[in-house]
Structure 1
Amino acid sequence: MDNPNDVKELIPEFFYFPEFLENQNGFDLGRLQISKERVNDVILPKWAKSPEDFIYKHRKALESEYVSAHLHEWIDLIFGYKQRGPAAVEALNVFYYCTYEGAVDLDAITDEKERKALEGMISNFGQTPCQLLKEPHPMRLSLEELEKRRTRLDSCPLNIFEHLTELKSFFIEGISDNVPLVKAVVPKNQSHSFISQGSPDTLVTLSQNCLMGTHGWLPYNKNISNYFTFIKDPTVAGVKTQRCLAGPFSPGVEVTARLFVVSHDGKLLFSGGHWDNSLRVTSLVKGKTVGQHIHHMDIVTCLATDHFGIHLISGSRDTTCMVWQVLQQGGAPVGLSHKPVQVLYGHTDEVVSVSISTELDMAVSGSRDGTVIIHTVRRGQYMRSLRPPCDSSLPVSIMRLAVSWERHLVVHTCIEGKATLKDKNALHLYSVNGKHLCSAPLKEQVTDMCVSGEHVVIGSEQGFLSVRDLYSLALCVSPMAMRVSIRCVSVTKEQSHVLVGLDDGKLIVVGVGKPAEMRSGQITRKLWGSSKRLTQISSGETEYHTQEQP
C-alpha cells in the first residue's frame, strides 16, 4: 500500500457481497509464513462486527455526504481535465504512456516482437478510460442545498422514514363502514400520459365483503393545505354502482391481504381463496372477472408479485407454488399466462406465504411445516431451505415473507397452538444467500407486513403500527396505537405515507407533520376535467388521535 507505483482499487464486492470475506467452502488456503497460522476468513477491522456489518458500513461510506461533496474531484481525475496534461502532473495523476487512449497505434507497428512487448505492457498496466471532460466537473449539491431546492418545487412529499418522530395520522371513513378493510395500496408503477402528468394516482381498496374501490391519491403538495389529497371513489357509496369481487370464497378461508395482489398500473386485481381453487383476475375498472386459472389442486392461500409486475407467484394448500407471467399489452398488464411458467415443490404442508423478486431471480415460499424454500424464478431450480430458529417444541408456521431491495429476506414466524403471546411471534432476517443474520421477538400478533427501503412496517391484531430497522429488526420509534385491529399496511411509492386498513373499515393515512410555514399560501389548482379546488374534494385531513404503546 506504500508503493506509489502500485495502484489499488476496491472491487465492487466490497460494497454489496459480504460472502467473499468468508471461506465458507473450507478451502485449504495455506498458512502464514512467520506465525504458521492457518489462512481462513478475512480478518476484519475492529469497527466491523461481522462481514455484513463491514459491507454495510462500506456502502454507507460510499453513499455518505463527504463522498458526495468530493465526487467531482474523482471524476476530474478519472474522466476529466486532470487525466492528462499539466493538471494531471500537478495532481500526481500520471501513468505509463502506453495506458492512455491513442498513445500507441498497434496496427502501425510492423515488428512482431515490439508489438507483443507493447501489448504485454498495456495488459500489465491496464488502460486509462477515455477522457470525457476538458473542464472541471461541477460539485454535487449538498443535502442541505437539495432540501432547499426541493422545497421550491411544486410537489414536495417528505419521506416518512427520515421523519419518524414527526408522524401524524388521519382517518378516512365511508369506504367500507364497519367492514374490515383488507387491502389498501397505491400501485408503485402507474404510468401517466404527457397530458395527464400531475393527475392523481389510483389508490385501490378492498373490503372483507369484496367491495372494490379505486380512489384518487396525491401526496402532499406545498401549494395546497393538505398533507395529502384523497378523492373517494363515488361508486362505493351507491348500492347500484358498487363493484364487488365475484365470489364466493371457500368455506373456512380467512380473507386477508395476502389473498390479493393489485397490478402495477392499478387496473387489475389478482385474487385467491376461491371455492373452485382458481386464481382469478378481475378488472378494477369494470368490476368483472376477466380471467380464471385453475391449476392448483386445492385452495390458493397467498399471492405476491414482483416490483415491476413481471411475475406473480401463488401458494396453495396443495403444498405447491406456481410462478405466472403477467401478460402485457402496450406496457400495461392484461392478464396471466394460460399456464404457470414454473411449478415449485418441496413443502410438506400448506403454503401460507410467498414473495418473489424477478430482479434477484428468487421465488420464496413459507409453509405451516416451518420451512422457507427458495427457488429460482427463471428455471424453477431449487436453491435452499431455511428453518428459522425456535426454542418451542410446538409447530411453527411461516406466516409472512418479504424480499427487500437491499437483498435481504424478512421472515415472520408464529408458533401454532400457543395460548399466550409471549414469544409466540418473531421476525428473522436472512441474507440473499440464506445466512441467518438476526432475530427479534414480537409482543403482538402480526396481521400484515411490508418492507420499504431499509425499514420493515408491521401491523398487528392488537392495533399497533410499528416501524423496524431492516438490518437489526429493532424498533425505530415507539409503535403507534390505532385503537382497533390492523388488517393491512402498505407504503406509498414516494415513501411519503403509510396506508393502514382497520377492522372497523377506516383507512388511516400516516404521514409527516408539516411545519406551519410550509402549509401557507393555498393556491387553486385544476385537476384534469375539474375546476374544483383540490382541498374541496379531499376526504382526508381529519386527524386520527393515536397513542404510543406503553
Structure 2
Amino acid sequence: MDNPNDVKELIPEFFYFPEFLENQNDFDLGRLQLSKERVTDVVLPKWAKSPEDFIYKHRKALESEHVSAHLHEWIDLIFGYKQRGPAAVEALNVFYYCTYEGAVDLDAITDEKERKAVEGMISNFGQTPCQLLKEPHPVRLSQEEVEKRKAQQDSSPLNMFEHLSDLKSFFVEGISDNVPLVKAVVPKNQSHSFITQGSPDTMVTVSQNCLVGTHGWLPYNKNISNYFTFIKDPTVTQRLLSGPFAPGVDLAAGLFVVSHDGKLLFSGGHWDNSLRVTSLVKGKTVGQHIRHMDVVTCLSTDHCGIHLISGSRDTTCMVWQVLQQGGAPVGLSPKPIQVLYGHTDEVVSVAISTELDMAVSGSRDGTVIIHTVRRGQYMRCLRPPCDSSLPLSVLHLAVSWEGHLLVHTCLEGKASLKDKNTLHLYSVNGKHLCSERLKEQVTDMCVSGEYVVMGSEQGYLCIRDLYSLSLSAEPMAMRVPVRSVSVTKEQSHVLVGLDDGKLIIVGVGKPAEMRSSQITRKLWGSGKRRTQISAETEYNPQQESA
C-alpha cells in the first residue's frame, strides 16, 4: 500500500475470458526454478474447478451485494474527490505526477531528449482518468432497499426466477381449442406513445391449424391473484396464415418468429420453399422470399432484432437483414446477406447473435456449425459427444447473452427415452463445458438470463441452471405435451402452449387471502376504453385429468 509504483489491477479478462488462463497454444514458458516443473496453464485457487468456474465466480463477486455497497468508494478514488489533494494523500491514492491530467505540457518541452524521457515515463506509469467529481459519490441502494421500493410500486412485476419455489400456473382457454398451440410470445420491444401509456402489450399466438391471434397482455396488477391480465383477440378465428404448408412439415415453434415490435410474423415450412412475412396489423402476407432450394425448416432472430437466420432441408442456412423504417421492422432484405454451407443433411435448428457475430446451425447429421454473421466465415464445427452408433440429430439450439451455446441432441431410431436426449453446454469459443442426460423428449427450449426453460412431449415444464444444467426447481406437470415455451420480457412469466390448445401462464402466485375470482379492469388504448374480465383459472393437471 505504501509503494507508489505498485499499481496492479485486474484486467477485464478476469471477468469474461477464461481462455487467457490456459496455455492452449502449448508455448514453452520455461520451468519453475525449484521443482523444475514445466510452466503451462495458470494454477487456479482451490475454490475454482476450472477456468470457466473461476471467471463465473469472479463475475458473481463483481455483481455481489458487497461490491455494490462499496462501489461509491471506488468511484471516489478513481474519478472523484479522493483522486487529488489531501483526500488522496489520506487514502494512499497518490501516483506519479506525470500520470495526472494536465500535469505536463509536452508541447512546452523544447529539448527532444527531455520530451522523450517524459513520454517514456507517461507510457510506463499509465494515465490517471479525468477527475469528474469533487464531492463524495452517494451510496448505492442495498438489495433490501431496492426490493422495498419495488414492492411499493404498482407496476413492477416480480422476476419469476427469483421466486422459483412460489411458481403457479394458470390456464387460458378458447384460443385454439383441441388444436396444438405451437407459438405464444410477447415481443420485447413494443413501444407505447404517451397517449397509450399503460395500455396492453401484444401477445402473439399461432395454432397448428394456422390461426393467428394478437391478444392483449398486461404482466402485473396488484389486485389480481395471478399477476397478469389477458385480453383475447376476438378475431382469432378469422385470421389464417396463407398456406398450404409443405407435406411432412411438423408445424412447431421453430418455424415462426415474431418481430420485436409485434407487428410482423416470419414463417417457414411453406410448400414453395419460401420464407414469408405476414403483417399482424393488416392480417396479410407482405413479403415472400424464395431463395432456398428446399423447404425452410427453422427460423430464429437475434436479441436486438437486426438479423434473422433460416435453415432448410437443402442443408444451407441464410442470414437475412430485418429492414427498418422509423425504427420499426417492415420486412426482410430482398436477398440474404449470407448463405452458409457445411452440413450434409437437413438443418433442423438455428440460432443467431449479432452482438457476438455468431450464426449457429444444427443438423440431422449430428453437427453444430458456427459461422460469423458479418462475413459468413466458417469458424468451427462441434460434434456433441455420443456413445451410441445411432444417428444423432441436433433438434434445438440457443445462444445466451454472454455467448454460452446450448445444444439439445436426440438419438434417431431409439425407442426408449433412456439416454435418448441430452443437453450440452459449450463456451463461446466452442469448448465443451458439460452435458446432462434428459428423461424426456424436449419439444421447445429457450434461454433467459442464467436459466434454461424447456417443455417436453411428456408434459413437463423444466427450469434448469444455464451453467450446471441441473434443475433449478421441480418440473411442473402440464398433463399434455408441451408445444412451445417463451419467457416474457420482464422475466415475470413463462408462456406455455399445450397440445390441447390451452395457453398456460406460469408466474409467481399471490397468497390465497389476496385472491378474487373475478375482477373487472378498465384499460385505456387506441383512444377508447376497453373493459376486460380477468377470469383465468389456476391450472391443476391432476384435477384436469380426473
Q: TM-score, normalised by structure 2?
A: 0.96
Letter in 2 for 1:245: L
Determine whether 1:248 maps to 2:244: yes
1:107: how far off?
A: 1.6
Q: Secondary structure at the match of 2:524?
A: coil
In structure 2, how many angstroms separate the alpha carbons of the residues matched to 1:504 and 1:53? 42
1:456-535 map, 5 Å: 456-515=452-511, 526-528=523-525, 529-531=527-529
Alpha-carbon separation, structure 1, partners of 2:126 and 2:515: 57
Asked whether the equivalents of residues 4 and 95 of structure 2 are also in contact (C-alpha less than 8 Å), the reply is no
Are 2:4 and 2:96, in contact at CA under 8 Å, matched by a contact in 1?
no
| Aligned equivalent of 1:266 | 262
Give the secondary structure class of the aligned counterpart of 1:124. Answer: helix
Q: Partner of 1:353 in structure 2?
A: 349
- Note if 1:195 corresponds to 2:195: yes
Q: What SS does the aligned partner of 2:538 have? A: coil
8 Å contact 2:520–2:533 — kept in the other structure? no
- CA drift of 1:523 comes to 10
Q: Give the superposition deviation at 1:116.
A: 2.3
- The residue that corresponds to 2:379 in the other structure is 383
Q: Give 1:111 deviation, angstroms.
A: 2.7
For 1:320 and 1:371, how far apart are their aligned partners in 2?
13
Deviation readout 1:204-238 (Å, 9 max, x if unpaired): 0000000000001111133655510111111025x
Question: What code does the residue aligned with 2:363 have?
Answer: S
Matched residue SS, 2:59? helix
Tell me what 1:111 maps to.
111
Amino acid at match of 1:195: I
C-alpha deviations, 1:294-329, integer Å up to 9, x for none? 111111110101111111111011101111111111
- What is the Cα deviation at residue 200 of structure 1? 1.0
Q: In structure 2, how many angstroms separate the alpha carbons of the residues matched to 1:29 and 1:225? A: 63
Aligned-partner residue type, residue 392 of structure 1: S
The separation in 2 between residues aligned to 1:393 and 1:2, in whole angstroms, is: 65
Q: Is the 8 A contact 2:187 2:489 kept in 1?
A: yes
Q: Does the 8 Å CA contact 2:199/2:523 hold for their aligned counterparts?
A: no
What is the distance in 2 between the residues matched to 1:206 and 1:304? Answer: 16
The residue that corresponds to 1:545 in the other structure is 540
Partner residue in 2 for 1:212: 212
Report Cα offsets for 1:410-437 as digits up to 9, x if no partner: 0000000001000100100000000000
How far off its partner does 1:525 sit? 5.3
Question: How much does 1:270 deviate?
Answer: 0.7
| Contact 1:406 1:454 survives alignment (8 Å) | no
C-alpha distance in 1 between matches for 2:413 and 2:9: 55
| Contact 2:226/2:508, CA 8 A, preserved across alignment | no
Q: Deviations over 1:505-531 (max 9, x none)?
A: 0000000113468779x9965423444
What displacement does 1:105 show? 1.7
Distance 2:155 2:504 in 1: 22
Task: Single out whichever of 325-334 and 429-438 deviates more from structure 2.
Answer: 325-334
Question: What CA distance in whole angstroms lies between the structure 2 residues aligned with 1:532 and 1:345?
Answer: 51
Q: Name the amino acid aligned to 1:361.
A: D
Q: Aligned partners of 1:524 and 1:256: how far apart in 2?
A: 34
Equivalent residues of 1:166, 1:513 under 8 A apart: yes
Q: Supply the AA of the counterpart residue of 1:545.
A: N
After TM superposition, the structure 1 = structure 2 runs for residues 226-241 of structure 1, keeping only pairs within 5 Å, are 226-237=226-237
Q: Distance in 1 between matches of 2:535 and 2:106?
A: 72
Structure 1 equivalent of residue 44 of structure 2: 44
The equivalent of 2:271 in structure 1 is 275
Distance 2:10 2:65 in 1: 20
Deviation at 1:483, TM superposition (A): 0.5
Contact 1:224–1:523 (CA under 8 A) maintained in structure 2: no
Aligned residue number for residue 418 of structure 1: 414
Query: In 2, Cα distance between the equivalents of 1:276 and 1:108?
Result: 73
Distance in 2 separating the partners of 1:212 and 1:525: 25
TM-score with structure 1 setting the length: 0.95
Q: Distance in 2 between matches of 1:44 and 1:518?
A: 51
- TM-superposition CA deviations, 1:367-414 (whole Å, max 9, x none): 000000000000000000000011111000000000001210000000
RMSD: 1.8
- CA distance in structure 2 between the partners assigned to 1:158 and 1:507 by the alignment: 20
- Offset of residue 538 of structure 1: 2.9
Q: Secondary structure at the match of 1:537?
A: strand
CA distance in 2, matches of 1:109, 1:433: 48
1:312 is matched with 308
User: Cα deviation per residue 1:227-277 (whole Å; 9 max; x = unaligned)?
Assistant: 10111111025xxxx110001011111111111111111111111111111
C-alpha distance in 2 between matches for 1:386 and 1:145: 46
SS in 2 for 1:57: helix
Q: How does 1:4-23 map to 2 (within 5 A)?
A: 5-23=5-23
Counterpart mapping for 1:50-89 below 5 A:
50-89=50-89
Note if contact 2:169-2:507 (Cα within 8 Å) is conserved in structure 1: yes
Write the letter of the residue equivalent to 2:433: L
Q: How does 1:284-363 map to 2 (within 5 A)?
A: 284-363=280-359
Q: Which runs of 5+ in 2 are unaligned?
A: none
Judged with a 3 Å threshold, the aligned counterparts in structure 2 of structure 1 residues 114 and 498 are, in CA distance, closer, same or farther, namely same
Q: What is the count of residue pairs matched by the alignment?
A: 540
SS at match of 1:410: strand
**Conservation of the 8 A alpha-carbon contact between 1:272 and 1:300:** yes
